[in-house]
A and B are shown apart, each in its own frame.
Chain A
Amino acid sequence: MANPTGWKPSVEKESGGAGGPARPGTGGAVRGLAYEEKLIFEHAGGDRSGVSLPAPTGAWDPAREIPAGLLRGEVEGLPSLAELDVVRHFTRLSVWNHGIDTGFYPLGSCTMKYNPKSSEALARLPGFAAAHPLLPAEMCQGSLELMYRLERALSEISGFAGTTIAPAAGAHGELCGLMMIRAYHVARGNARKKVLIPDTAHGTNPASAAFNGYRTVEVKSGPDGRLHPDAVRAVMDEDVAAIMITNPNTLGVFESDIAAIAEVVHAKGGLVYGDGANLNALLGVARPGDMGFDVMQFNLHKTFATPHGGGGPGSGPVAVKEALLPFLPLPVVVREGAAYRLVADPAERPRTVGRLREFHGNFGMMVRAWALIRELGPEGLRRSAELAVLNANYVRARLQDVYHLPYATDSLHEVVFTDKLQKAAGVSTMDVAKALIDEGFHPPTVYFPLVVAGALMIEPTETESKETLDAFVEGMRAIAARAAADPDALHAAPVKPVRARLDETRAARKPVLRWTPGMALE
């Protein structure tokens, strides 16, 4: 087969022929030894095998050992493949994937920064990686000390009195933070009923509030993309348990009225919850604890470069002010003289919200985050925030003449554009995102935040070099030019990847979730 991946001839011309380089200034997407790959069940098996087990000896009879209902004499369609067949199958699939180690990954709000291999190496040290969570304290002092020091560092970086490092990820941290807020109000005699949430918030905020039995009240942001004290004052009353604010918010805009907003909320006895999803923009520059926040969750997998998503797990520590310390979940690590001890018994912390996670949380992520904090140090952390802001503003400055900027307000670590200038030619945000794949870049976050119609949300992070950003900008500008000249080509994009434009609508409306032998697929 001359063209097993189904690429279209027009692309060959454009990219300079098979294996030729893509247009200069793109993300370097070229074609080479790329393979179509069948499902593993579709591989015609001879009777190869990847294992050689010894023949059973003695009088062992499966029928006597295993209940009849669990016993199968034959398995229909089980692939019969050699080890190399299986290795190639999964290796080929793996190169269809994209990750931060492959290329630029500007997913706004997700903070896809590079995960340094030094952090990985340290997390793999046998003393950490193989430590059993039930080890007695005297046999894992090193691990406990790391947890203690990380907790202290996070508290200091964010300006809070104490931190739990147990929650498993950001949304789990939100859950934990709101549980503590509820416990705080209950201890004062009234759990309260409502949580205020700006219209720029992540969807997890209202979900976490609802999960804790609170009704959410949306607060509109102003024309500058900021939340204003008057808007909060208008809905603030003594039924409000808390307001949840992300700072900088999901537009990448710093909430410069945060102190005044906190005052409005505190005056009526409410608490201020900080969603630390965008803390990476403030590291070493400003501390949420100093802005009036009472509780804040971190996302170690964003801010401190531990792996994301499928490479996770995440980790979502939650920092609190003095008044909320008694409610922190267990366990916590305390230092007693030169020794470290895990406090796990609620008798010792009677007002704790309890245990949120088995054992100590995602310990491997704690090691990685601590490694990064120590590697960068205070100056390096500050530098990472400054570079993240610089990179986003560089992309903003170089694209704002060809993509519409819905808010003129200064950007911090991410920038939101829209498809307003492309709309007239019938080109949407989704078309731009798909076309970026042909340019060799992972698309940015699209259609979020919800307050922006047709949002394209770009977060380069501090990781990327000027060369990468320039290539991305060239790609985005080329798409803007094509949107004007040949909009239909963009509706068909991407055409270069192994799987071209997928029908997302049909996949959502008529999902086919199970493959069966011989099934006909269009």
Chain B
Amino acid sequence: MNFPDDLQYTREHEWCRVKGGRAVVGITDHAQDALGDVVYLELPKVGDVLKKGETFGVVESTKAVSDLFAPVSGKVVEVNDPLVDAPETVNEDPYEEGWMIQVEMSDPKELKELLDPAAYRKFLEEEAE
């Protein structure tokens, strides 16, 4: 399973790519694999204000409906709207085309609480036991 080095991860299986003051957010390869075929997405609107750890949307697969949790606090400045009509992209390309939102971070210090790829892999191994 692929966990790119340039990303940071949450224990709820979101990833976060920092570009200047912005964080691009999506769900991990592990998350899309565990969910199975994604069939529906609910994403926030541009301008919505997110708080780290709170839900910002919903992802639904043929197995289950799961909440999406904000890895950082801030304002939503971009939403990957085409994803809603092509939810299979989340399965096919979770880290590039499958990105979900971009957040203008209000407190970049929060990034320190996220996991690096090695720590996330370790967390997954522990969770599997």
Contacts and interface: CB of A to CB of B under 8 A. Distances in A.
Interface in B23-64: 34, 36-37, 39-40, 60, 62-64
Contact of B88 (A203, A450, A504, A509): A509
A509 B60 CA distance: 11
A491 B88 CA distance: 20
A447 B37 contact: no
B39 A505 contact: yes
Interface string B54-85: 00000010111110000000000000000000
A55 interface: no
B87 interface: yes
A508 B34 contact: no
Interface string B85-108: 001100000000000000000000
Which one of B63, B87, B88 has the highest number of Cβ atoms from chain A below 10 Å of its Cβ? Answer: B63
Interface residues of A, number: 11
A447 B64 contact: yes
A447 B63 contact: yes
Interface residues on B, range: 10 to 19
Contacts of B64: 447-448, 450
Interface string A495-522: 0000000001100110000000000000
Interface of chain A, main secondary structure: mixed
A480 B100 CA distance: 38
A447 B40 CA distance: 17
B63 A509 contact: no
B58 to A, nearest CB: 12
A453 B88 contact: no
B118 to A, nearest CB: 22
Contacts of B87: 509
B92 to A, nearest CB: 13
Interface in A82-100: none
Contact of B40 (A203, A430, A450, A508): A508
A447 B35 CA distance: 10
Contact of B37 (A203, A448, A453, A505): A505
Interface of B: 34, 36-37, 39-40, 60, 62-66, 87-88
